[in-house]
Amino acid sequence: MGVDPDQERDPPASPTPLDFPQYVGLNDKDVKSATDFKAIYRNLLTLRKPQDITIDHVKALNLKIETDVEGLQIISDKDLQGLPPLVWDIMNDDDGNPSEGPKMGNGVPYPPLEKYEIVKKELLIDSDDAFREAARMPPKPGRDRVRLTQTRKFWSGLERMAQYWDTSQDEYYERPAAASKPEEKATANTTQEQQPPADTGVSSPMDTSESPTKETKTYERVYKGRRVGTGSEMPSDIREDTMRGLVEMVAWPFQCQASVPSTPPRLNVQGLLFPVRHTLISGRVPQDRQAARSGILEGPLLGIQCREETKFSAEGPGSWAKEYCDLFREVGAMLLLAQERAREGAVEVKPGEGKWWTTMPRFGGAEHEGVTGEAANSDNTKDKDEQKDDDNSQSVHKRSRYTNPLISSRRAMRARRLTPSEKWKIIGPGTSLWDKRMKYMQIGKPNDSLYDDVSLT
């Protein structure tokens, strides 16, 4: 529900200050002509927790870092000049008449320019008008109601974020405290009637109470603005929904979607699995309707990380360099994107598949009884109990079938848990590391390019 910034309420906590990472100690002198991948692997082996990441781990990545870059210069003018013209600029012939332009990689025509004109128009709407419309609030007096069609989900998420971060309309002031409620007055009068003061006719010299004709005014601090809390208190789902709305309003016309990874993202570095945080991934919807209904995507095209850290400076004993950990996460996410896109046309080889330790019995092939002792007895007891439950359920089912013949006689088979001894006897490769709902493809990579440019949001 939206919040009216003109409504008085209790003041929220102080705004959360933003402390962006400062990569002190990294400079261009540390960049080498060739990256030592063995050093990266050795450094990863020493990590046990995020607090173990130091500047030496970052230097081994051989990164060139540019700071204090304006938003419009994240993609340099040089890179923009090398891009091909927009597809809408070449969809007109020499006479200015519309012609059939090129198609996307899946054979579908590009979306019309009108869709992006609508998105552009809605993004330029005044924030206050868009917030009130997204929150289903009437417009301010004298203002027309705006219309949100392609960007409603994004504006709704942004309005919720503003309730914790937007300080542009913060206003604190004091006002006289509100008068007591009639119920409170009635209670106070009843109490006074029950306990009347003793009237001796002589005023006490220690009586310092004020005259009943004087009134003591009390003041209370109130607030007007958008915020209901501070940024550090904002639920993480608000940030994720806002980013999802931003990506989807651009991706949908290209038949792309944003979804949550179905398996935990892990970067494979020479057999070492390094966990990577991916909040959302964007991919293209396949043309096969059955695959599209199953939630399968092609790609990935884009990776999204939503992090809730607001302070990165090291202060006090026991502190650690959070900025290097944050940089490690970003690099790991980009490497994972490149690794997944490079799987196009490949067949997954599960960890240990085809190796002797996943095909031969343990202890070099020697016979073994498996789990013995109390563990084996507990397994046997568990098996007997499960068998007894099955017999009881079957007997109850038989009686119910004769009682009501309209009920189907089929009984849902419940999955039985494997006992420790049964798990011990299983020999096979590890679990899959590939996302079953992603058809890996290098969408957008030029055919004549030796490199795959990846980006992270």
Look at the block and give the residue holding tokens 């302070």: 311
SS3 of residue 4 by DSSP: coil
List of long-range contacts for 46-52, beta carbons under 8 Å, 24+ apart: 50/320, 50/325, 51/320, 51/325
Six token digits for residue 195: 């306990």
Q: Are the C-beta atoms of 305 and 329 separated by less than 8 Å?
A: yes
In tens digits, what is the pLDDT along the chain, a chain of 457 residues? 678 888 888 999 999 988 888 887 787 777 888 888 888 899 889 988 888 888 888 888 988 888 888 877 777 777 777 677 778 877 765 555 556 667 888 888 888 888 889 999 999 999 999 999 999 999 999 999 999 999 999 999 999 999 999 999 999 998 888 654 444 444 444 444 444 444 444 444 444 444 555 566 688 899 999 999 999 999 999 999 999 999 999 899 899 999 999 888 999 988 888 888 889 999 999 999 999 999 999 989 999 999 888 888 766 555 667 888 888 889 999 999 999 999 999 999 888 888 888 887 765 555 656 556 665 555 555 555 555 555 555 554 444 444 444 444 455 556 788 888 888 778 888 888 899 999 999 998 888 888 887 766 6
Query: DSSP code of 311?
Result: B
Please report whether residue 425 resides in a domain.
no
- 447 inside domain: no
Total number of domains in the chain = 1
So what's the pLDDT on residue 20? 82
In sequence order, what are the beta bridge partners of 221?
174
**Phi/psi at 456 (nearest 5 deg)?**
-135, 135
The distance of Cα 32 from the centroid of its chain, to the nearest Å, equals: 35
pTM: 0.74
- Structural domain includes residue 263: yes
Q: What is the pLDDT of residue 294?
A: 92
Short-list 220, 215, 224, 223, CA closest to 175: 220
Confirm whether 238 is domain-assigned: yes
How buried is 456 (Cβ within 10 angstroms: 0-12 exposed, 13-18 middle, 19+ buried)? middle
Contacts of 329 (CB under 8 A, 6+ apart): 276, 277, 305, 307
Domain-located, residue 268? yes
450 falls within a domain: no
Partnered with residue 256 across adjacent β-strands are 284
Task: Check if the beta carbon of residue 26 is closer than 8 Å to that of residue 58.
Answer: yes
Exposed, middle or buried, 298 (CB in 10 Å: 0-12/13-18/19+)? buried
Q: What's the confidence (pLDDT) of residue 145?
A: 93
Contact, 130 vs 156, CB < 8 A?
no
Residue 419 lies in a domain: no
Q: Which of 101, 105, 87 is nearest to 286 (CA)?
A: 105
Expressed as residue numbers, the domain containing 306 is 9-93+100-167+229-342
In-domain check, residue 400: no
